[in-house]
A and B are shown apart, each in its own frame.
Chain A
């Protein structure tokens, strides 16, 4: 079984291109189009990695991160935060809260792959 990545992203075009890339690299993926769905998927699927958009309506990336870090079941899952509305302190905030990486959109897919790799290693086998 290839490692599973959960994509939490409200813009469909973006989640699609992310899934295409993951597919291309050989990972399997699960999609969630908002924060609450993302949390539910996380609890159901226990993915190996979460690609988490920050700016989402209602329940945003930070909210999700806070809840998951407090949940012993899923707090260990590495998270890569991803946003298009970067403000000066966003990166620091993400890393302080416990995210492993922080990527700004438009992202460089080479850098994205490097980050994924450094979190969970290649699609098959141990990290």
Chain B
């Protein structure tokens, strides 16, 4: 039998689609893009970055991943709160409005 989490719909079109209570497979948020960018997008200046990981630690949405050259932001899920820019001790991150 297939797992219930795999059989659940990710989007509802009509009341017939609805389970009795909202049910989703765990981790379903990665399947949706939720870019709000309220205070702009965080842009990283890798020449200033010391790879201290404070941005990675402070990001409330967990959208920062550490790569070889420094933090990479998943803009499809970043809410643009600006906490990473605020916390960066060397001001390597700036919020850019588009």
Chain A complexes with chain B: no
By a beta-carbon cutoff of 8 Å, the part of chain B in contact with chain A is none
By a beta-carbon cutoff of 8 Å, the part of chain A in contact with chain B is none
